[in-house]
Amino acid sequence: MASIWEYANPRKFLETSDRVLPWLAALAGVALVVGLVWGFFFTPDDYRQGSTVKIIYLHVPSALIAINGWLMMLVASLIWLIRRHHVSALAARAAAPIGATMTVIALLTGAIWGQPMWGTWWAWDPRLTSFLILFLFYLGYIALWAAVEDDDTAADLTSILCLVGSVFAVLSRYAVNFWNQGLHQGASLSMDKADNVANVFYLPLLVCMAAFVLLFLALVLLRTQTEIRARRMRALLARERMS
Amino acid sequence: MIALLMRDLRLAVRAGGGFGLGLAFFLIVVALVPFSVGPETALLARIAPGVLWLGALLACLLSLDRILALDWEDGSLDLLATAPIPLEGIVSVKALAHWITTALPLVIAAPVLGVLLSLPAQGYLWLIVSLLVGTPALSVIGTFGAALTVGIKRGGLLLSLLVLPLYVPVLIFGAEVARRGAEGQAVQVHLLLLGAITCGAMALLPFASAAVLRVNLR
Amino acid sequence: MPELGKYAGAVLSSYGLSLLLLALLTGLSLWRARRMKAALRKVEERVKRHG
Amino acid sequence: MELVVKELGVARGGVRVLEGLSFVLGAGQALILRGPNGSGKTTLLRVLAGLQPSVAGRISVSRDSVAYASHADGIKGQLSVAENLHFWARLHAERDITRALEAFDLRALQDRLAGALSAGQKRRLGLARLMVTGRPLWLLDEPTVSLDSEAVALFGAAIEAHLQRGGMAVIATHIDLGLTSARVLDVTPFRARRPVGDAFDEAFL
Between A8, A11, A242, which is nearest D15 by CB? A242
Q: Given a cut of 60, is residue A109 above it in pLDDT?
A: yes
B10·D83 Cβ contact <8 A = yes
Contacts of A143 in chain B (CB under 8 A): 158, 161-162
| C-alpha to C-alpha distance for A230 and A224, rounded to whole angstroms | 10
Give me the mean pLDDT over the A14-41 stretch: 91
Could you give the number of structural domains in chain B?
1
Minimum Cα–Cα distance from A96: chain C residue:
C25
Task: Show which subunits contact C, needing at least 3 CB pairs below 8 angstroms.
Answer: A
Say if CB B218 and CB D42 are below 8 A apart: no
- Of the two residues A198 and C21, the one the predictor is more confident about is C21
At A170-218, the pLDDT tens digits run: 998 888 887 776 556 655 544 344 445 667 778 889 999 999 999 999 9
Rounded Cα gap, residues C16 and B180, in angstroms: 44
D74: left (phi over 0), alpha (psi -120 to 50) or beta: left
Q: What is the mean pLDDT of residues B130-140?
A: 95
Q: What is the pLDDT of residue C2?
A: 67
CA diameter of chain A:
72
Q: What is the pLDDT of residue B118?
A: 86
DSSP state of D27: T
The partner residue sitting opposite A9, judged by closest CB among D15, D194, D202, is D202
Q: Which residues of B touch D (CB under 8 A)?
A: 2-4, 7, 10-11, 14-15, 71, 73-85, 217-218
* Weakest-pLDDT range from A148-162, A167-181, B50-64, B92-106: A167-181
- Is residue A138 over pLDDT 60? yes
Give the dihedral sign, CA B114/B119/B125/B129.
negative
The CA distances from residue B199 to A166, A176, B186, in Å, are 18, 19, 22
Q: Which residue has the higher pLDDT, A133 or A46?
A: A133
What is the average pLDDT across A219-223?
95
Q: Does position D202 have pLDDT exceeding 60, yes or no?
A: no
**Per-residue confidence (pLDDT) for residue A197, from 0 to 100:** 60
Q: Mean pLDDT in chain D?
A: 82
Q: Which residue of D has its CA nearest to A5?
A: D202
Q: Which domains does chain D have, with CATH numbers?
A: 2-190 (3.40.50.300)
Q: Model's pTM, two decimal places?
A: 0.89
For B110-114, D59-63, D68-72, D76-80, which range has the lowest pLDDT when averaged over its residues?
D59-63
Please answer yes or no on whether A51 and C2 come within 8 Å at the CB atom.
Answer: yes
Q: What is the pLDDT of residues D16-58, one digit of tens each?
A: 888 888 888 888 888 888 888 878 888 889 998 888 888 888 8
Q: Which residues of D touch A239 (CB under 8 A)?
A: 15, 194, 205
Distances (CA, A) of D49 to B217, D9, D42: 12, 14, 11
Domain extent at residue B206: 2-217
The number of beta carbons lying within 10 Å of the beta carbon of residue B181 is: 25
Tens digits of residue pLDDT in D66-95: 888 888 888 888 888 888 888 888 888 877
* Distance of alpha carbon D90 from alpha carbon D96, whole angstroms: 9
CA distance linking residue C14 with residue A183, whole number of Å: 20
Distance from CA of A107 to the nearest CA of B (A): 17
Whether residue D201 has pLDDT greater than 70: no
* Mean pLDDT calculated for residue range B153-166: 90
What's the half-sphere exposure (Cβ side, CA atoms, 13 Å) at D45? 27
Higher pLDDT, B164 or D70: B164
State the ipTM, two decimals.
0.88
Query: Using 50, 70 and 90 to split pLDDT, how confident is the model at B162?
Result: very high
Which residue(s) pair with C36 in the sheet?
Answer: none
Greatest alpha-carbon pair distance for chain B in Å reads: 57
How far apart are the CA of A10 and the nearest CA of chain C, in angstroms?
14
Report chain A's C-alpha Rg in angstroms.
20
Residue of C nearest to A52 (CA): C11
The pLDDT of A8-36, averaged and rounded, is: 90
Q: Among A100-114, B89-103, C4-18, which is the least confidently predicted range? A: C4-18
Q: What pLDDT, on a 0 to 100 scale, did the predictor assign at position A212?
A: 95
Question: Which carries the bigger pLDDT value, residue B143 or residue B10?
Answer: B143
Q: Above 90 in pLDDT, residue A21? A: yes
Sign (positive/negative) of CA torsion D172, D178, D182, D185? positive
Question: What does the pLDDT read at residue B200?
Answer: 94
CB B143 within 8 A of CB B205: yes
pLDDT at B151: 84
CA distance A150 to chain D (A): 6
pLDDT of residue D136: 87
The pLDDT > 70 percentage for chain B reads: 98
Q: In this structure, are residues A49 and A232 in contact, taking their beta carbons and an 8 Å threshold?
A: no
Question: What does the domain layout of chain A look like in residue ranges?
Answer: 19-43+50-181+191-238
Mean pLDDT check: name the lowest of A4-13, B65-74, D107-116, D166-175: A4-13
Q: Concatenated DSSP letters for A99-115?
A: HHHHHHHHHHHHHHHHH
Per-residue confidence (pLDDT) for residue D11, from 0 to 100? 84
Shortest CA distance from C18: residue in chain A? A105
pLDDT score at A191: 39
pLDDT value for D159: 86
* Chain A: closest CA distance from residue B95 (Å): 17
Q: Is A223 an 8 Å CB contact of chain C?
A: yes
Task: Count CB-CB contacts under 10 A for residue D74.
Answer: 22
Residue partners of A20: CB distance under 8 A and separation at least 6? A221
